[in-house]
Amino acid sequence: MKLLIFTTRFAPENVGTARYVELLAGGLARRGGLDLKVLAPAYGRAHPEDAGLGYPVERIPGGHCSFIPWRYWRTRVALSRVVAQWRPDVVWAANGMATRVAGTLLDELTMPLIGTVYGTDVARRLPGRTPWTWLESVPQRRFYTGARRLLAITRFTQEVLVGKGVDPEKVQVVYMGVETPRGMEETLRQAPHRHPEWLDRPLLLTVGRLVKQKGHHLLLQAMRQVVDRVPRVLHLIVGDGPERPALARQIEELGLAENVLLLGKVSEEMLRDCYALAWAFVLTSHEVRSYVEGMGLVFLEAASWGVPSVGTRHGGIPEAILDGQTGFLVDSAQPTQLATRLEYLLESRERCRQLGLAAQIHVAANFNVERMAAQSEAQLREVVG
């Protein structure tokens, strides 16, 4: 069976949708039995790293340009060309924009179609909240109508889809999966030697784009209270984005410069070291202008390192964190509640380890990439018949 996975977000982008597609394609390729190709954007340079992925990737020049109408045009032309030349048996649109691009080509895409749905792609565009998102909603709705199967990454996303009028018979839940970190034991041994300045401090970690919907500003409010109780705490914030200047000002205004570090984008080795040394992970996503967190892949990645998480009761996050067992859930509008949970964790390294072990076991059993690939392939073969 020839499967074309079409996406407008892919490596080297380090965002959840791009990571999902990489994990999905890799998992399906390792299972064998499929002739698989990924059609993804080029990012303004050659991509020699594609040779080591274990499956072919065809890059779209201009597929990630900043001018969105041009991005739509270039990806549409590329999808039409590859489908005509390669003749796949199934096309899988693996992110929101991919479903919209495919939705403009339904007359050409006569093979079975599958789409992955996250959350924001539905919440913001069915119906569209602005003239532009309303325009985008037309091909997206067409794709949802024409697709044989829509795979929601959480029950939350499934409920949103069905609530928007999508046929519930074609919507199935397949949870995102993560891999066991490669070289984990070696990183756990070496990270303390690379960062001795962190060893005598309780370490909190946040990983995510610096955008309003990730709620970093709410987290900093809680951190002011945490520092009063745990003066030695160190909070590492990994990621970059438009909110960085405002967050830097907030850190200064709250007197948190000695306790909160904005690390920006970091190397893969540095990120692994952060997970290896963290006592707990925290991210306070909340809804902003219909942006929602479908799940939050970073919670699963933290758990795979044995790190417990504190997250918000928002979107699909409660499906990733078992409250009181693998971490804690809090209300995003309650900084004091968040501070209390963080203080409770930071009181005891052993408590963090126990919750982290439970998180690791939970993710290995329910959110591993092999399980995601197996369930995805089962859905694929059911669609093809």
Report which DSSP code applies to 169: G
pLDDT in tens, 83-113: 999 999 999 999 999 999 999 999 999 999 9
Instruction: Write out residues in the chain with pLDDT < 50, as ranges.
Output: none
pLDDT in tens, 264-321: 999 999 999 999 999 999 999 887 666 778 788 899 999 999 999 999 998 899 999 9
Domains of the chain: 2-177+368-384 (3.40.50.2000), 184-366 (3.40.50.2000)
- Copy the structure tokens of residue 199: 């060893």
> Identity (one letter) of the amino acid at 150?
L
Distance of alpha carbon 306 from the chain centroid? 18
Alpha carbon distance 337, 314 (integer Å): 15
- Copy the structure tokens of residue 30: 């390792």
Instruction: Tell me what pLDDT residue 7 has.
Output: 97
Q: Are 178 and 369 in contact (CB under 8 A)?
A: yes
pTM (predicted TM-score): 0.90
pLDDT in tens, 249-266: 999 999 999 999 999 999
- Copy the structure tokens of residue 235: 């909070």
Alpha carbon distance 67, 251 (integer Å): 33
Is residue 12 reached through a cis peptide bond, with omega within 30 degrees of 0 on the bond before it? yes
